[in-house]
Chains A and B, each alone.
Chain A
Amino acid sequence: MTRSSRRLTRLLAAATVATTLAACGGGDDGGGGGGGGGGENEASDVGITEDTIKLGAHYPLTGVAAPGYSEIPTGVQAYFDHVNANGGVYDRQIEYVYRDDAYNPTNTSAVVNQLVLEDEVFAVVGGLGTPTHSAVLEFLNSERVPDLFVSSGSRLWGETPEDYPYTFGWQTDYVSEGKILGQYIAENLPDAKVGLFLQDDDLGADGESGLREYIDDQIVEVQSYVPGNTDVGPQIAALQAAGADVVVGFNVPSYTALSQLVSLRLGYQPQWFYSNVGSDPTLVGSLLANFSQGQVTDATLLDGAITTEYFPGTDSPDDPWVQMFQQIWDEQGQEGELTTFRLYGMAQAYTTVQALQAAGQNPTRDDLVAAIEQVGADWEGPLFAPFRYSEDSHMGTSGMRVVQVAGAAVEELTPVLTTDLGDAEIEESDREAATPPENGIPDEEAAD
């Protein structure tokens, strides 16, 4: 069976289930995928009881990395609350425990020990950060705990499923992002002299390797910074001196703000590109105001900068997924506005519910992993491009689109492009944007 026809079958199957449910007057979504066959719920593995399923996560809730990132779990929680209010998954309520690691790997190790050994979670979902999650990669895989949807774009989470069979990525990896940005520059700005502004870790290194696939000969200067050192004056000055008229930044939000302020001071006005990680206009705006002590009040400095998106953020309020999540946030969320970070968490939680439904009514931890490998690539959701999950790859979504910041919104510059690690071609995604389900809860059938 070819891939597209298999997808068609799934679609038909899903449609059938949906109509059957509708015919039964089915507002009750407790059956999830409906493939469970109506048997009894059992405590089939650690973390699962007849009426609950426990998931855990680690995030920086305190310390330097907390602004922004600490909002993600509140989004996840709000979405799970919504699912629970609608009957849960296979009539099980999702219990979500997230703990603080302050973005310090030593703490991550301790809190994940606690999640696995004391809280006895069924799976860890959305653990955040490359150095932090690296510390628990071995542990989770040796304890055979599913380690789903790591919140980082490193290649570690999925390039080698034979080494880490329980770990899955989720967001677009930095290599693919670099390739997509590189191709855009090669096609639209072929004469530009490109400078790179990189964080000195895998974010910068992977991004650079992707970019070099397409614009190796256009790059005139590479500058990197070490996180924690807030003086980026020398780096920006070197880019200016090298005559770069395009600068691509693979950096975190605070360094987007710093690089903008420094180039403002130096009178340097290249065309800026920022990776998705560093480009949230709201957060960058508040950081700009903070760093400049009120002299720059919003993110207008970012106007015209080019970046990427792999899921609709708060800058596209008309997107049906954003509207759906907005409604859920208004009903279930805590205080505060719906931010792009919270949307990220809710989108991740949506994928998690898809995985739990696909794992079947009484799954073991291994069943969950097998289900994601088997059907994860067919899931539709808020993300623009499909996941790459299979037995050979646990990499997350494969694509993104290039967008330009215009005020609080963004303008699309390209359609959704998909690619993969290595020398895989960049292709336009043939997938239509998925329509969100009416009740906001996915409806996957159990994989066999």
Chain B
Amino acid sequence: MTQPPDTPVVSTGEISSEAPVQATAAANAPTASAGGGRSFLPANTLLRHLLVLVACAVGAVVLLEITDPFTNSQLAQLTYYAIAAGGLTVLTGLNGQISLGHGALMAVGAYTTALMLDADEPLPLPVVLLAAVALATVVGALVGVAAARLHGPYLAGATLALAVGLPGLAVYYGDLFGGEQGLRVRAPRAPESFESFIDLVSGNPPSATKWLAYVGTICLLITFFLLANLVRSRIGRTWRAVRDQEVAAELAGINLGAWRVLAFVVSAACAGLAGGVLALVVRLAAPSGFTLVLSLALLTAIVIGGLGSLVGVLLGSALLVFLPPFVTDLGADLGLNSTEAAQLAPFVYGLVLVVVMIFAPAGVVGTIRMRWLTARARRAARGAGS
């Protein structure tokens, strides 16, 4: 049997051993430049991430206070997309599994939040959101067990069924879940400490929109902090091993199935939290909000940003949130009527996706990182040669 020497041997049970390396280039990026001699950051991963977390929190407060209320509401939108996509990027970028069902897992979180806040004396918000996470985790574990036995397109198909089927349950059990028109969510009021905090920081009016943006941001920061640590830990390394070379991983004593289930569970927990935040921000949990379009939007966000990268997730989510209104307004400024301008938005979004796939197949972050690595390798080669 002759094989061209540079073509990777594709073994059975595996789609390809080569593809993920380039496509997930962003996943291998260090979270905050670790180990580099010029870095001022501490070498301890946890300490380094804590520092970054504090810096991001300060940055987020500044961002939320210098922008207008509408941008606040857009940032609140960004947080739930980013939380869900963060979980998905760990699943897809680090563990190599694809899920089209994350919209449905978000629905689990959203409905849990809506039902619990609907009680006569609702529990505190953190408890409600934790419950949303817990329930989505349970559903994720069930799906994950099935997912561990499937690969690539088969897994996509199974999770697709979840995305299509689960929102249907809300209609079928209409008495409990409010059917097609869904459950309206009364977001709990901001505590007084929040109002005095905003007063202290900027003196802006502490509106409900701002409060929800802060809730989303806090959830986002906590999630990303935990994910970043997880990715840099033994668990993250094991996931990457499972993704890149199944056989080698198995020979090294890694139980592929168990680790796949774990990845799915972690990512489902994120989706659950995202769903909870979505219910608060949108003030509604309804089946028409959790269609397949949502799951696909999350997938495009992580692909555009760069599979496996949390920074890429932020970029991709920002594109989801800010691009459509921007394009619509641009269209209106160019003299299109509102209907034509609205139709322009999905078109431009598709165009951006196609352009990114052609010119930056590893996503924005992945491509930048590969360029940088190539340049450094060249420099090193030149240095060695002289």
Which residue of A has the minimal Cβ distance to B332? A97
Give the complex CA separation of A114 and B69 in angstroms: 9
Q: Please determine whether B168 and A226 come into contact, CB atoms closer than 8 angstroms.
A: yes
Stretch of B142-150, B180-188, B358-366 on the interface side: B180-188
Q: B180 contacts which chain A residues (CB < 8 A)?
A: 130-131, 199-202, 226-227
* Interface membership of A439, Cβ < 8 A: no
Q: Please determine whether A110 and B283 come into contact, CB atoms closer than 8 angstroms.
A: no
**A381, chain B: closest CB distance, angstroms:** 25
**A138, chain B: closest CB distance, angstroms:** 5
**A126, chain B: closest CB distance, angstroms:** 13
Give the complex CA separation of A205 and B185 in angstroms: 22
Interface SS of chain B: helix, strand, loop or mixed?
A: helix
Which residue of B has the minimal Cβ distance to A201? B180
Q: Do A226 and B181 form a contact, CB below 8 Å, given A100-B342, A117-B69? A: no
Q: Do A61 and B181 form a contact, CB below 8 Å, given A100-B328, A105-B286, A109-B282? A: no
Q: Please determine whether B328 and A200 come into contact, CB atoms closer than 8 angstroms.
A: no
Q: Do A113 and B73 form a contact, CB below 8 Å, given A134-B182, A135-B283? A: yes
Q: Please determine whether A117 and B182 come into contact, CB atoms closer than 8 angstroms.
A: no
Stretch of B8-16, B57-65, B120-128, B288-296 on the interface side: B288-296
Q: Please determine whether B68 and A106 come into contact, CB atoms closer than 8 angstroms.
A: no
Q: Please determine whether B73 and A117 come into contact, CB atoms closer than 8 angstroms.
A: yes
Q: Please determine whether A104 and B343 come into contact, CB atoms closer than 8 angstroms.
A: no
Q: B174 contacts which chain A residues (CB < 8 A)?
A: 200-201
Interface SS of chain A: helix, strand, loop or mixed?
A: helix
Give the complex CA separation of A134 and B294 in angstroms: 19
Which residue of A has the minimal Cβ distance to B73? A113
Q: B325 contacts which chain A residues (CB < 8 A)?
A: 110-111, 114
**B82, chain A: closest CB distance, angstroms:** 15
* Interface membership of B77, Cβ < 8 A: yes
Q: Do A117 and B286 form a contact, CB below 8 Å, given A106-B278, A134-B181? A: no
* Interface membership of B273, Cβ < 8 A: no
Q: Please determine whether B289 and A104 come into contact, CB atoms closer than 8 angstroms.
A: yes
Chain A residues packing against B (C-beta within 8 Å)? 61-62, 70, 73-74, 77, 97-100, 103-106, 109-111, 113-114, 117-118, 130-132, 134-139, 142, 154, 199-202, 205, 226-227, 334
A-B residue pairs in contact (CB < 8 Å), sample of 6: A62-B342, A74-B337, A100-B328, A105-B284, A202-B179, A226-B171
Chain B residues packing against A (C-beta within 8 Å)? 68-70, 72-74, 77, 168, 171-172, 174, 179-182, 184-186, 208-209, 278, 281-284, 286-289, 291, 293-294, 321, 325, 328, 337-339, 342-343, 345-346
Give the 4 A-B residue pairs with the shortest CB-CB distance, closest first: A100-B342, A201-B180, A117-B70, A118-B70
